[in-house]
Amino acid sequence: MNRFYSVKRTIKLGIGVFLSAFIASPAAAGILSLQNILSPGELSKPIYAVSPPGDSERLFIVEQDTGAIKIYDRSSGNVLADPFLTVDDLRFNHPEEGAQSIAFAPDYATSGLFYVSVVNAAGDHEVIEYSVSAGDPNIADAASARSIITIDHPDNGGNGHFGGWVDFGPDNYLYISTGDSNDDPINAVSQDRNNLLGSILRIDPRADDFASDHTKNYGVPSDNPFVGADGDPAIWAYGARNPFRPSFDKETGVLYIADVGEDRIEEINIGAPGANYGWPGYEGSAEFDITMLADPAGDLRFPIYEYLHGDGPFEGFSITGGGVYRGVIEELHGLYFFGDFVANTIWSFRYNPMTETISELTSWAIAAEGGVLSSVSSFAFDADGNMYVLDILTGNMFLVTSAISDVPLPAALWLFAAGSAGMVRMRAKRK
C-alpha cells in the first residue's frame, strides 16, 4: 500500500505524543475497579449496550453474532431468559459484521420506537426501525420492522469497515456512523461527499423525503451542512475511517468520535457539522496520502487526542470509543473514557469545549473481579450514568464500582501486568 507521510509532521507528532505521556505520567495513572455482573454463558459476543431514556432498571445488550438483543435487569441482576428481539438475516462472515448497536427514540416511553444498526444478509449497512410489543415491555414486535436506510457496502472479501453506531443527538435527530469501504486506503471513499461511507449521518427517521426509493425511508434535516450543496444531504460530517463508538455527552451535547486508524495512529475527534476528519489524506494529524484529500478539503479538523501504535502506557492498536461518565463516582464525573481493543487498556481525559483542550489524561490499571477482561469492545452507560465495560471475547460485562486516582504510574502498570498474567494478546484488530 502506498503511504505518503510528511516526515516533519510525523516527527512533530511523535515528539508531541511522547512529551504528553512523559509530562502526565507522575499524576496520570489510576486503578479502576470492575465487577463482572454476569454468569458464564449469559451473553455471546456483546458489542453494545444502552438503556432507554429514563429507564433505570434495564440495560439492552446487542449480541453481534446472534443478532439477539437481551435485557439485563438491574433489580434481579440477571439477563432475562427471552431476548427482547432477535434480528434475522444478518451476515457475520468477519468481525465487523453482524448486529452493531441499538438506539431508543427520545420519546420511547410513549412511542415505543427503537432503531437497530446491522450488517444485513447482503453485506450492506442497514438501520431498521422496530416498536415494542403492545402487551409486554420486555418483548419487541418483530413484525413492526421497517427499513430506514440501507447503505451499499462493497464486498471486499471481509475487509470493509462499518462503524455501526446509532444514537439520537440532543436535537432528537438520529446519527449514524459508517465505515470506509475497504482496508486498502487506495480504495477509500470517505472524501467523496456523495458517498455515505466513512461519514457521520444525521437523519429524521420519522419523515420520508424519498417516497420513490425503498432504501431511503427518512427525512433530511434542513440545516444539514450539505443540503443544497455538493454532497449527499444526509452527511453531517465525513473523512472518517472506521468511527467505532462515537458518543454524545448527555449533559453538554458534545459528540466524541473515536476513529480506528490504519497502521500508526488512533484518534478521537469532536463532532461538528460539515467537518472533514481527513482520512485518507491524514491519519490523525499526520499526512497519509494527501493526494486523496477532497479538493477543496472543506472544514478540515484534526483530533483533540491521538495515540501511536505500540506497547507504552499511552499506546495501543485499535481504539474503542466510550463516553463521558455521569454516575455516582464523584472523581470520575465529566471524564471521557475510551479504551483499546488489542492492548486491552482503558484511559480517560477531561475535555473543555470552550478551549478545545484536554486535561487529566489518565491511564487506568484494571482490577477486575469475577471474570477476565480480555478485549474492551464497548463501554455502556445506563440511565443513572453508571459505566459498564463489555468484553466481546469472554461475554463478560463489568460494572465500574470504584476508582483510585493519582497512583504512581509504575505501581499502576505493575498491577495491570500482574492482573494480565497468562493472557494471550490478540493482535487481530478492527481494520
pLDDT single digits (tens) 137-195:
999 999 999 999 999 988 765 567 889 999 999 999 999 999 997 667 878 899 999 99
Structure confidence by residue, pLDDT tens digits, 100-109? 999 999 999 9
C-alpha count within 13 angstroms, C-beta hemisphere, residue 288: 23
How many residues does the structure list for the chain? 431
- Give the model's pLDDT for residue 183: 65
What integer pLDDT is reported at residue 262 of this predicted model? Answer: 92
Segment 270-291 shows an average pLDDT of 96
pLDDT, residue 425, reads 35
What pairing do the DSSP bridges indicate for beta strands 387-391 and 140-151? unpaired
**Do 267 and 284 meet the contact criterion of CB atoms below 8 Å apart?**
yes
Q: Which three cell numbers stand for residue 431?
A: 481494520
What whole-number distance in Å separates Cα of residue 177 and Cα of residue 165? 5
pLDDT of 94 strictly over 80: no
Q: Would the pLDDT of 355 be above 60?
A: yes
Q: How far apart are CA 219 and CA 203, in angstroms?
A: 6
Distance (Å, rounded) from C-alpha 293 to C-alpha 276?
Answer: 10
Confidence of residue 417 (pLDDT cuts 50, 70, 90): very low
Which H or E element spans position 13?
A: helix 7-24
- In 68-207, where does DSSP find H-type helix? 108-111
Q: List phi, psi (to 5°) of 235.
A: -75, 130
* Angle formed at CA 244 by CA 65 and CA 222, multiple of 5 degrees: 110
DSSP labels, 156-194: -SS-------EEE-TTS-EEEE---S-SSGGG--TT-TT
Residue 424 has pLDDT above 50, yes or no: no
* Residue 409: per-residue pLDDT: 54
**Portion of the chain with pLDDT greater than 70, in percent:** 86
**Who has greater pLDDT, 23 or 332?**
332
Strand partners, 381: 387
- For residue 159, the model assigns a pLDDT of 64
Among 166-180, 399-413, 414-428, the minimum mean pLDDT is found in 414-428
Q: Are 271 and 202 in contact (CB under 8 A)?
A: no
Residue pointed to by grid coordinates 446509532: 166
Q: What is the mean pLDDT of residues 386-405?
A: 95
Q: Which of 25-34, 259-268, 301-310, 355-364 has the lowest mean pLDDT?
A: 25-34
| pLDDT given at position 161 | 87
pLDDT at 128 over 90: yes
pLDDT-based confidence at residue 289 (cuts at 50, 70, 90): very high
Query: Cell match 478485549: residue?
Result: 375
Quick one: pLDDT at residue 99? Answer: 94
pLDDT, position 157: 57
What confidence score (pLDDT) does residue 83 get? 98
pLDDT digits (tens, 9 = 90+) for 202-237: 999 999 999 999 889 999 999 999 999 999 999 999
Model pLDDT, residue 25: 38
Q: How confident is the model at residue 364 (pLDDT cuts 50, 70, 90)?
A: very high
How confident is the model over 41-67, as a mean pLDDT? 96
Least confident of 32-46, 155-169, 217-231, 392-406: 155-169
Task: Tell me the average pLDDT of the chain.
Answer: 87
**How large is the greatest C-alpha to C-alpha distance in the chain, in angstroms?**
63
pLDDT at 427 over 70: no
Question: What pTM, to 2 d.p., does this model score?
Answer: 0.90
Instruction: Provide mean pLDDT across the span 40-63.
Output: 96
Q: How confident is the model at residue 408 (pLDDT cuts 50, 70, 90)?
A: low
What single-letter amino acid sits at 123? G
With pLDDT > 90 as the criterion, what percentage of the chain qualifies? 77
